[in-house]
Amino acid sequence: MSRFLSLAEARSVRPNGWLDTIIKGDCVAALDALPDQSVDVIFADPPYNLQLGGTLHRPDQSLVDAVDDEWDQFASFEAYDAFTRAWLLACRRVLKPNGTIWVIGSYHNIFRVGATLQDLNFWILNDVVWRKTNPMPNFKGRRFQNAHETMIWASRDPKAKGYTFNYDAMKAANDDVQMRSDWLFPICSGGERLKDADGKKIHPTQKPEALLARVIMASTKPGDIVLDPFFGSGTTGAVAKRLGRHFVGIEREQDYIDAALARIDAVEPLGKQTLTVLSGKKAEPRVAFNTLIESGLIAPGTVLTDARRRYSAIVRADGTLASGSDAGSIHRLGAKVQGLDACNGWTFWHYADGKELKPIDALRAVVRSDMAKLD
């Protein structure tokens, strides 16, 4: 059975008695209860300090369930920085000399976290981008869709060269090319998302196990100790156990601890490491028409026609087409000129290649073959 320890217990248990447990309490106090240089890797998912204003509604008027928990509120950047500095310093002491730390965040907090890491003499090895396959849209159309989060991976010390990085495993898992710093994963939803009896999500920001699996497979060895100072629903612990690593979690909220303990108990460790890697080879990557312009395959001002030259349109620099007083995407304008509701602009619009007309889809194929090497 999994268990959790009070701060006093964490301090007094026999050496390593805190392995594979959750320590209940404030993050810094709990870290202070652990011995020097005792963990191999830290994965930290601290509060993001979102600073949300009012409420936000979707276009269908439904309310967005925002992260408004008390633990995500800070009075100022200074307060957030002081908090960050305190827990990172405590982490530093607990890390083995060749240990590394991962911190995940968004643009709200990650820059402050990164600067603090550098100030405390951690040495950044990579920043890794988690690209979400299914991020929440920007409902008001005022910004780019916020489709990623950032992880910083850093060693405890600039001179430490002995940190674990399973380069060959990563490369083998990635079609025999180096694992890049941009990773593609879905957000945590469906059956993986922990819910209470009423179907309400237990934790507002549960991370996907696939993300933690890659982190752990990349930067730890079997039997290593992975500490998570903001344990939440216990994703780090569940994945560590499954992958044959030890975990230590720190968490304040009893509700999260209860959920995490039950979750981890249900995990069956893998006999053999059979980490499945999500190859980003989805059906076909989406290519923006804009990309053809940006990559010089088609110039703004080019005239496109349909296959029989009945309709024509001019390519604008913003990636839209214009025809007479109408304008829009390749699809919208294709539909418009034909008086239809819908149209596949990729196959409808053609460009002149010598005397021949070719569909712009041919140019998309060029872009896709360049992209194919990536995902």
Partner DNA sequence: GTACCTCTTGAATCATATA
Partner DNA sequence: GTATATGATTCAAGAGGTA
Backbone angles phi, psi at 127, to 5 degrees: -105, 135
Is 319 among the residues that bind a second copy (CB under 8 A)?
A: yes
Q: How far is the CB of 118 from a second copy (least distance, A)?
A: 6
Which of 5, 30, 213, 226 is the binder for a second copy (CB under 8 A)? Answer: 213
Q: Which does 217 bind (CB under 5 to 8 A by kind): DNA, a second copy, none?
A: a second copy
**Residues numbered 261-280 forming contacts with DNA, rule: CB under 7 A:** 280
Which of 170, 202, 264, 360 is the binder for a second copy (CB under 8 A)? Answer: 170
Which of 142, 200, 308, 310 is the binder for a second copy (CB under 8 A)? Answer: 142
Q: How far is the CB of 9 from a second copy (least distance, A)?
A: 32
Q: How far is the CB of 194 from DNA (least distance, A)?
A: 10
> First CA to last CA across the chain, in angstroms?
40
Give the Cα separation of 211 and 214 in Å (integer).
Answer: 5
**Residues numbered 322-341 forming contacts with a second copy, rule: CB under 8 A:** 322, 325, 327-329, 331-332, 338, 340
Q: How many residues bind a second copy (CB under 8 A)?
A: 110
Is 215 among the residues that bind a second copy (CB under 8 A)?
A: no
Contacts of 60 (CB under 8 A, 6+ apart): none
Is 143 among the residues that bind a second copy (CB under 8 A)?
A: yes
Report the residue number, 167 or 255, with the smaller CB distance to a second copy: 167
Is 99 among the residues that bind DNA (CB under 7 A)?
A: no
Give the Cα separation of 34 and 12 in Å (integer).
Answer: 10
Helix H or strand E encompassing 43: strand 39-44
Q: What angle do CA 107, 108, 114 make, to 5 degrees?
A: 65
Q: Which does 252 bind (CB under 5 to 8 A by kind): DNA, a second copy, none?
A: none
CB atoms within 10 A of CB 173: 18
Is 343 among the residues that bind DNA (CB under 7 A)?
A: yes
Report the residue number, 106 or 312, with the smaller CB distance to a second copy: 106
Give the CA dihedral 236, 240, 246, 251, nearest 10 degrees: 10
Is 54 among the residues that bind a second copy (CB under 8 A)?
A: no
Name the segment binding DNA (CB under 7 A); options: 120-128, 248-256, 263-271, 293-301: 120-128
Give the CA dihedral 272, 278, 282, 285, nearest 10 degrees: -150
**Residues numbered 197-226 forming contacts with DNA, rule: CB under 7 A:** 199, 201, 204-206
Is 148 among the residues that bind a second copy (CB under 8 A)?
A: yes
Q: How far is the CB of 9 from DNA (least distance, A)?
A: 27
Q: Which does 52 bind (CB under 5 to 8 A by kind): DNA, a second copy, none?
A: DNA
E-state strands within 233-323: 246-251, 303-305, 312-315, 321-323
Which of 7, 13, 29, 169 is the binder for a second copy (CB under 8 A)? Answer: 169
Give the Cα separation of 226 and 156 in Å (integer).
Answer: 14
83-112: b (≥16 Cβ within 10 Å) or e = bbbebbebbbebbbeebbbbbbbeeebbeb
Beta bridge partners of 127: 152
CB atoms within 10 A of CB 47: 20
Q: How far is the CB of 16 from a second copy (least distance, A)?
A: 24
Q: Which does 65 bind (CB under 5 to 8 A by kind): a second copy, DNA, none?
A: DNA
**Residues numbered 265-294 forming contacts with a second copy, rule: CB under 8 A:** 270-271, 273-278, 280, 282, 286-291, 293-294
**Residues numbered 63-92 forming contacts with DNA, rule: CB under 7 A:** 64-67, 72
Is 62 among the residues that bind DNA (CB under 7 A)?
A: yes
Backbone angles phi, psi at 65, to 5 degrees: -80, 90
C-alpha 127: how far from chain center: 11
The alpha carbons of the chain give a radius of gyration, in whole angstroms, of 25
